[in-house]
Amino acid sequence: MDLVTFLVLTLSSLILLSLWKQRSGRGRLPPGPTPFPIIGNFLQIDVKNFNQSLTNFSKAYGPVFTLYLGSRPIVVLHGYEAVKEALIDHGEEFSGRGSIPMVEKINNGLGK
């Protein structure tokens, strides 16, 4: 097998694995725009006008939606009512902190 064929097969396998991994985890998450493999929704977000991008997504998917930053899903609460309901009405469920792997590696798991 030549090098080009090997690279194409490897890249195709990685993309298929990424798609399968994203699809298997989406069942429990709120709706959102379909992410691209590996890069997520980066190309669908306008970084210069980030607030407007989030507003457009909330109009299409509702006040609670999922974005993928890379292969990591991020649940976004957009608007006063969604944030109030999450933090006031369901405060216990939202009281935990998410993990940031780089910070945990630097602090050796200490300092939360």
Give me the pLDDT at residue 26, please.
Answer: 56
More confident position, 24 or 8: 8
Q: Give the mean pLDDT of the chain.
A: 83
Q: What is the pLDDT of residues 12-49, one digit of tens each?
A: 888 787 777 666 655 688 999 988 877 889 899 988 99
How many domains is the chain built from?
Answer: 1
Domain-located, residue 112: no
More confident position, 56 or 17: 56
* Six token digits for residue 106: 């630097």
Range of the domain at 27: 3-107
Domain-located, residue 17: yes
Domain-located, residue 49: yes
Domain-located, residue 54: yes
pLDDT at 50 over 80: yes
Q: What is the pLDDT of residues 91-105, one digit of tens each?
A: 888 777 677 777 777
Domain-located, residue 101: yes
Q: List Cβ neighbours of 108 (8 Å cut-off, separation of 6 or more).
A: none
pLDDT at 57 over 80: yes
In our burial notation (b when 16+ CB lie closer than 10 A, e otherwise), range 7-41 reads eeeeeeeeeeebeeebeeebeeeeebbebbbeebb
Strand partners, 77: 64
Domain-located, residue 72: yes
| Cα–Cα distance list, 19 to 39, 40, 75, 97 (Å) | 11, 10, 19, 27
Cβ proximity of 64 and 32 under 8 Å: no
Q: Quick check: pTM over 0.85?
A: no
Domain-located, residue 47: yes
Give me the pLDDT at residue 22, please.
Answer: 61
